Protein backbone atom coordinates (compact mmCIF):
# COMPACT_ATOMS: atom_id res chain seq x y z
CA UNK A 1 0.00 0.00 0.00
CA UNK A 2 1.18 3.52 -0.80
CA UNK A 3 1.70 5.98 2.02
CA UNK A 4 -1.55 7.63 3.06
CA UNK A 5 -0.93 11.32 2.49
CA UNK A 6 -4.29 12.85 1.51
CA UNK A 7 -7.11 14.00 3.76
CA UNK A 8 -10.60 15.15 2.84
CA UNK A 9 -12.29 17.81 4.97
CA UNK A 10 -16.03 18.11 4.20
CA UNK A 11 -16.77 21.72 5.11
CA UNK A 12 -19.70 22.54 2.82
CA UNK A 13 -22.52 22.07 5.33
CA UNK A 14 -24.84 24.87 6.39
CA UNK A 15 -24.24 24.72 10.16
CA UNK A 16 -27.89 25.37 10.95
CA UNK A 17 -27.53 24.49 14.65
CA UNK A 18 -25.36 27.59 15.13
CA UNK A 19 -27.50 30.13 13.31
CA UNK A 20 -27.37 33.10 13.20
CA UNK A 21 -23.57 32.95 13.70
CA UNK A 22 -23.17 30.61 10.72
CA UNK A 23 -24.92 32.95 8.33
CA UNK A 24 -21.47 34.39 7.65
CA UNK A 25 -19.03 32.22 9.63
CA UNK A 26 -18.56 28.56 8.68
CA UNK A 27 -19.13 26.34 11.71
CA UNK A 28 -15.64 24.94 11.13
CA UNK A 29 -14.28 28.43 11.84
CA UNK A 30 -15.85 28.60 15.31
CA UNK A 31 -12.92 28.91 17.73
CA UNK A 32 -11.98 26.81 20.71
CA UNK A 33 -10.35 29.66 22.69
CA UNK A 34 -8.31 31.30 19.88
CA UNK A 35 -8.03 28.54 17.27
CA UNK A 36 -10.83 27.47 14.91
CA UNK A 37 -12.06 23.90 14.77
CA UNK A 38 -10.74 23.42 11.24
CA UNK A 39 -7.20 24.30 12.29
CA UNK A 40 -7.24 21.69 15.05
CA UNK A 41 -8.36 19.13 12.45
CA UNK A 42 -5.67 20.18 9.97
CA UNK A 43 -2.96 20.03 12.64
CA UNK A 44 -4.07 16.52 13.57
CA UNK A 45 -3.88 15.46 9.92
CA UNK A 46 -0.42 16.94 9.36
CA UNK A 47 0.90 15.33 12.54
CA UNK A 48 -0.36 12.00 11.17
CA UNK A 49 1.67 12.40 7.98
CA UNK A 50 -0.90 14.01 5.69
CA UNK A 51 0.60 16.36 3.09
CA UNK A 52 -2.41 17.12 0.85
CA UNK A 53 -5.45 18.81 2.39
CA UNK A 54 -8.63 18.60 0.30
CA UNK A 55 -11.44 20.90 1.43
CA UNK A 56 -14.90 20.12 0.04
CA UNK A 57 -16.44 23.51 0.38
CA UNK A 58 -19.23 25.83 -0.74
CA UNK A 59 -19.51 29.32 -2.13
CA UNK A 60 -20.10 30.76 1.35
CA UNK A 61 -16.98 29.26 2.95
CA UNK A 62 -14.27 31.67 1.78
CA UNK A 63 -13.28 32.26 5.40
CA UNK A 64 -11.66 28.83 5.53
CA UNK A 65 -9.42 29.55 2.55
CA UNK A 66 -8.65 32.98 3.98
CA UNK A 67 -7.68 31.46 7.32
CA UNK A 68 -5.01 29.27 5.73
CA UNK A 69 -3.67 32.03 3.48
CA UNK A 70 -0.07 32.93 4.45
CA UNK A 71 -0.95 36.65 4.73
CA UNK A 72 2.42 38.02 3.52
CA UNK A 73 1.58 41.70 4.14
CA UNK A 74 0.50 41.04 7.72
CA UNK A 75 3.55 38.85 8.22
CA UNK A 76 5.80 41.66 6.99
CA UNK A 77 4.14 44.13 9.38
CA UNK A 78 4.56 41.88 12.44
CA UNK A 79 8.15 41.10 11.44
CA UNK A 80 9.04 44.79 11.18
CA UNK A 81 7.47 45.41 14.59
CA UNK A 82 9.34 42.51 16.17
CA UNK A 83 6.10 40.73 17.16
CA UNK A 84 7.29 37.16 16.90
CA UNK A 85 4.41 35.81 18.99
CA UNK A 86 1.95 37.12 16.40
CA UNK A 87 4.08 35.86 13.52
CA UNK A 88 3.87 32.38 15.03
CA UNK A 89 0.07 32.57 15.10
CA UNK A 90 -0.01 33.35 11.36
CA UNK A 91 1.63 30.04 10.52
CA UNK A 92 -1.53 27.96 10.17
CA UNK A 93 -0.02 25.48 7.67
CA UNK A 94 3.69 24.63 7.42
CA UNK A 95 5.54 24.78 4.13
CA UNK A 96 5.33 21.72 1.89
CA UNK A 97 1.62 21.15 2.53
CA UNK A 98 -0.71 21.27 -0.48
CA UNK A 99 -4.19 22.79 -0.20
CA UNK A 100 -6.99 21.92 -2.63
CA UNK A 101 -10.46 23.49 -2.52
CA UNK A 102 -13.31 21.72 -4.35
CA UNK A 103 -16.85 23.17 -4.44
CA UNK A 104 -19.53 20.68 -3.47
CA UNK A 105 -22.25 22.63 -5.26
CA UNK A 106 -25.11 21.55 -3.01
CA UNK A 107 -24.94 20.12 0.52
CA UNK A 108 -26.17 16.65 -0.46
CA UNK A 109 -24.72 14.64 2.37
CA UNK A 110 -21.36 13.45 3.66
CA UNK A 111 -21.11 10.72 1.03
CA UNK A 112 -21.68 13.24 -1.76
CA UNK A 113 -19.02 15.52 -0.28
CA UNK A 114 -16.43 12.72 -0.13
CA UNK A 115 -17.24 11.71 -3.70
CA UNK A 116 -16.15 15.15 -4.93
CA UNK A 117 -12.55 14.25 -4.04
CA UNK A 118 -12.44 11.20 -6.33
CA UNK A 119 -10.26 12.70 -9.07
CA UNK A 120 -7.74 14.12 -6.60
CA UNK A 121 -7.50 10.91 -4.55
CA UNK A 122 -7.16 8.55 -7.51
CA UNK A 123 -6.28 4.98 -6.47
CA UNK A 124 -4.91 5.81 -3.02
CA UNK A 125 -6.24 5.22 0.47
CA UNK A 126 -7.22 8.52 2.09
CA UNK A 127 -8.41 10.07 5.32
CA UNK A 128 -11.69 11.86 5.99
CA UNK A 129 -11.82 14.25 8.94
CA UNK A 130 -14.90 16.07 10.24
CA UNK A 131 -13.71 19.17 12.03
CA UNK A 132 -16.78 19.53 14.24
CA UNK A 133 -15.94 16.19 15.85
CA UNK A 134 -13.33 17.89 18.03
CA UNK A 135 -10.81 15.51 19.58
CA UNK A 136 -8.82 17.23 22.27
CA UNK A 137 -5.13 17.44 21.40
CA UNK A 138 -2.50 15.97 23.68
CA UNK A 139 -3.35 12.27 23.51
CA UNK A 140 -2.94 9.67 20.80
CA UNK A 141 -3.47 11.03 17.31
CA UNK A 142 -6.77 9.49 16.10
CA UNK A 143 -5.98 9.89 12.40
CA UNK A 144 -2.57 8.25 12.86
CA UNK A 145 -4.30 5.39 14.69
CA UNK A 146 -6.54 4.78 11.65
CA UNK A 147 -3.70 5.11 9.15
CA UNK A 148 -1.62 2.53 11.03
CA UNK A 149 -4.57 0.15 11.25
CA UNK A 150 -5.44 0.55 7.55
CA UNK A 151 -1.88 -0.24 6.52
CA UNK A 152 -1.68 -3.24 8.86
CA UNK A 153 -5.00 -4.73 7.66
CA UNK A 154 -5.05 -3.46 4.03
CA UNK A 155 -8.61 -2.32 4.63
CA UNK A 156 -10.74 0.69 5.43
CA UNK A 157 -10.86 1.69 9.11
CA UNK A 158 -13.25 4.03 10.88
CA UNK A 159 -13.24 5.49 14.36
CA UNK A 160 -15.95 4.51 16.86
CA UNK A 161 -16.86 5.14 20.48
CA UNK A 162 -19.75 4.23 22.74
CA UNK A 163 -22.59 6.76 22.61
CA UNK A 164 -25.46 7.18 25.09
CA UNK A 165 -28.80 5.59 24.26
CA UNK A 166 -30.49 8.93 23.65
CA UNK A 167 -27.92 9.75 20.92
CA UNK A 168 -27.84 6.40 19.09
CA UNK A 169 -30.36 7.54 16.48
CA UNK A 170 -28.07 10.46 15.55
CA UNK A 171 -25.08 8.32 14.52
CA UNK A 172 -24.00 5.63 12.17
CA UNK A 173 -23.86 2.57 14.41
CA UNK A 174 -21.43 -0.34 13.98
CA UNK A 175 -21.41 -3.83 15.44
CA UNK A 176 -18.00 -5.48 15.69
CA UNK A 177 -16.45 -8.90 16.10
CA UNK A 178 -14.69 -7.97 19.33
CA UNK A 179 -11.31 -9.65 19.61
CA UNK A 180 -10.32 -7.71 22.71
CA UNK A 181 -8.08 -5.23 20.87
CA UNK A 182 -8.63 -1.62 19.86
CA UNK A 183 -9.16 -2.57 16.18
CA UNK A 184 -11.90 -5.03 15.20
CA UNK A 185 -13.66 -6.24 12.07
CA UNK A 186 -17.06 -4.61 11.55
CA UNK A 187 -19.93 -7.06 11.06
CA UNK A 188 -22.80 -4.59 10.60
CA UNK A 189 -23.08 -0.86 10.09
CA UNK A 190 -26.28 1.16 9.76
CA UNK A 191 -27.07 4.86 9.47
CA UNK A 192 -29.01 6.47 12.35
CA UNK A 193 -31.09 3.51 13.55
CA UNK A 194 -33.80 3.77 16.15
CA UNK A 195 -32.48 2.61 19.51
CA UNK A 196 -34.53 -0.59 19.40
CA UNK A 197 -33.08 -1.43 15.96
CA UNK A 198 -29.47 -0.54 16.69
CA UNK A 199 -27.00 -3.43 16.52
CA UNK A 200 -24.86 -1.88 19.29
CA UNK A 201 -24.09 1.47 20.91
CA UNK A 202 -20.83 2.03 18.98
CA UNK A 203 -21.23 5.32 17.16
CA UNK A 204 -19.19 6.18 14.08
CA UNK A 205 -17.39 9.46 14.65
CA UNK A 206 -15.74 11.85 12.23
CA UNK A 207 -12.49 10.05 11.48
CA UNK A 208 -12.09 7.62 8.58
CA UNK A 209 -9.34 6.07 6.48
CA UNK A 210 -10.91 4.65 3.35
CA UNK A 211 -9.99 2.56 0.37
CA UNK A 212 -10.54 4.18 -3.06
CA UNK A 213 -13.07 1.39 -3.56
CA UNK A 214 -15.52 3.54 -1.64
CA UNK A 215 -15.88 5.98 -4.56
CA UNK A 216 -17.51 3.38 -6.79
CA UNK A 217 -19.81 2.41 -3.94
CA UNK A 218 -20.77 6.04 -3.35
CA UNK A 219 -21.65 6.38 -7.03
CA UNK A 220 -24.03 3.43 -6.58
CA UNK A 221 -25.50 4.69 -3.29
CA UNK A 222 -29.08 5.88 -3.46
CA UNK A 223 -30.05 9.16 -1.83
CA UNK A 224 -31.95 8.85 1.42
CA UNK A 225 -35.41 10.31 1.99
CA UNK A 226 -33.80 13.67 2.72
CA UNK A 227 -32.06 13.70 -0.66
CA UNK A 228 -28.59 13.05 0.80
CA UNK A 229 -25.98 10.42 -0.03
CA UNK A 230 -24.81 8.91 3.23
CA UNK A 231 -21.24 7.70 3.60
CA UNK A 232 -22.41 5.02 6.05
CA UNK A 233 -24.55 3.42 3.34
CA UNK A 234 -21.50 3.05 1.10
CA UNK A 235 -19.45 1.68 3.99
CA UNK A 236 -22.14 -0.98 4.53
CA UNK A 237 -21.48 -2.20 0.99
CA UNK A 238 -17.80 -2.70 1.86
CA UNK A 239 -19.01 -5.53 4.08
CA UNK A 240 -19.85 -7.58 0.99
CA UNK A 241 -16.18 -8.64 1.16
CA UNK A 242 -14.76 -10.24 4.33
CA UNK A 243 -12.38 -8.27 6.53
CA UNK A 244 -12.89 -5.19 4.37
CA UNK A 245 -13.93 -2.69 7.05
CA UNK A 246 -12.56 -2.28 10.57
CA UNK A 247 -13.47 -0.16 13.59
CA UNK A 248 -10.82 1.44 15.79
CA UNK A 249 -11.91 2.44 19.27
CA UNK A 250 -11.17 6.11 19.86
CA UNK A 251 -8.59 6.65 22.59
CA UNK A 252 -8.96 10.43 22.90
CA UNK A 253 -11.53 12.77 24.41
CA UNK A 254 -14.10 13.84 21.81
CA UNK A 255 -16.63 16.65 21.87
CA UNK A 256 -19.41 16.94 19.31
CA UNK A 257 -18.96 20.59 18.40
CA UNK A 258 -21.73 20.35 15.85
CA UNK A 259 -24.02 20.83 18.85
CA UNK A 260 -24.07 23.78 21.24
CA UNK A 261 -23.51 21.75 24.40
CA UNK A 262 -20.51 19.88 22.99
CA UNK A 263 -19.00 23.13 21.75
CA UNK A 264 -19.34 24.80 25.15
CA UNK A 265 -17.96 21.71 26.91
CA UNK A 266 -14.92 21.63 24.61
CA UNK A 267 -14.28 25.31 25.17
CA UNK A 268 -14.44 24.99 28.95
CA UNK A 269 -12.23 21.88 28.98
CA UNK A 270 -9.57 23.55 26.83
CA UNK A 271 -9.81 26.79 28.81
CA UNK A 272 -9.07 24.89 32.01
CA UNK A 273 -5.90 23.56 30.36
CA UNK A 274 -4.79 26.94 29.01
CA UNK A 275 -2.00 28.22 31.23
CA UNK A 276 -2.81 31.86 30.45
CA UNK A 277 -6.42 31.74 31.61
CA UNK A 278 -7.03 28.48 33.49
CA UNK A 279 -6.81 30.00 36.98
CA UNK A 280 -9.20 32.83 36.13
CA UNK A 281 -11.62 30.45 34.40
CA UNK A 282 -11.59 28.13 37.41
CA UNK A 283 -12.27 31.05 39.74
CA UNK A 284 -15.11 32.24 37.52
CA UNK A 285 -16.74 28.81 37.41
CA UNK A 286 -16.49 28.52 41.17
CA UNK A 287 -18.11 31.93 41.57
CA UNK A 288 -21.03 30.79 39.43
CA UNK A 289 -21.56 27.55 41.29
CA UNK A 290 -20.84 28.40 44.94
CA UNK A 291 -24.43 29.50 45.57
CA UNK A 292 -26.09 26.76 43.54
Burial class (CB in 10 A: 0-12, 13-18, 19+), 43: middle
Q: Coil, strand, or helix at residue 161?
A: strand
* 81 vs 257, more confident: 257
pTM above 0.95, yes or no: no
Q: Coil, strand, or helix at residue 67?
A: helix
Q: Answer whether 235's CB lies under 8 Å from 156's CB.
A: yes
Mean confidence (pLDDT) of the chain: 91
Spell out the domains of the chain, with CATH numbers in brackets: 6-268 (3.90.550.10)
**How do residues 102-146 score in pLDDT, each as one tens digit?**
998 888 899 999 999 999 999 999 999 999 999 999 889 999 999
**How do residues 157-198 score in pLDDT, each as one tens digit?**
999 999 999 999 988 899 998 777 899 999 999 989 999 999
pLDDT value at residue 156: 96
Q: Coil, strand, or helix at residue 250?
A: coil
Q: Does 42 have pLDDT greater than 80?
A: yes
**Pick from 12-16, 20-24, 40-44, 94-98: least confident:** 12-16
| DSSP state for residue 22 in the 8-state scheme | G
Q: How many CB atoms lie within 10 A of CB 246?
A: 23
pLDDT value at residue 292: 62
**How do residues 202-230 score in pLDDT, each as one tens digit?**
999 999 999 999 999 999 998 888 888 99
Which residues of 3-51 form beta strands (DSSP E)?
A: 6-10, 31-32, 35-36
pLDDT value at residue 22: 87
Q: Answer whether 107's CB lies under 8 Å from 12's CB.
A: yes
pLDDT value at residue 43: 96
**How do residues 43-69 score in pLDDT, each as one tens digit?**
999 999 999 999 999 876 788 988 888
Amino acid sequence: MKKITKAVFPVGGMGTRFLPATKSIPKEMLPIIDKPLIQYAVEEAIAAGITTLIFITSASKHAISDHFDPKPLLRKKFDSEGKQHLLDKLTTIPSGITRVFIPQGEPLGLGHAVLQAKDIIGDEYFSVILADDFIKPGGDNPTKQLIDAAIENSASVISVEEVPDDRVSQYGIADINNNGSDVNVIETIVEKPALEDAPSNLGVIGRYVLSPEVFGLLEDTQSDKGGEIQLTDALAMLLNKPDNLYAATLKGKRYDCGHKLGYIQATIDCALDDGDISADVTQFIQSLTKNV
